[in-house]
Amino acid sequence: MQVTIKDRATGTVLAAASDPSQVFAFEGNWYFAPEAVNQAVLKVTPDTYTCSYKGTCNWVNFDDGQHLTPHVAWVYPAPKSGYEQLAGRYGFYAGTRATTLEERT
């Protein structure tokens, strides 16, 4: 199954993968390997969120130079013990959201 996440306003592909080593579902969200995301338009920010059990993540903005959408994804650079599989992966909310659109084929 191919999973694609797009910016809802522009249709720009933010992440796409079908190989389980490149994308997996966890806690109702999609986690993509860095090589499966469009790093040309995704910018990791210094803004953080702390989950009591996974640790601290950095928010990721969509920025194509003309459009800026904050907090479309997140990255745990060093998650807590037991969540190492999330390290460095880009997390996206599953389904269609206010700022992102999920497509599965």
Biggest CA-to-CA distance, the chain: 39
What is the three-class DSSP state of 24? Answer: strand
What's the fold here for domain 3-104?
A: 2.170.150
CA dihedral 57, 2, 11, 71 (to 10 degrees): -10
pLDDT per residue as tens, the chain (105 positions): 999 999 999 999 999 999 999 999 999 999 999 999 999 999 999 999 999 999 999 999 999 999 999 999 999 999 999 999 999 999 999 999 999 999 999
pTM: 0.96
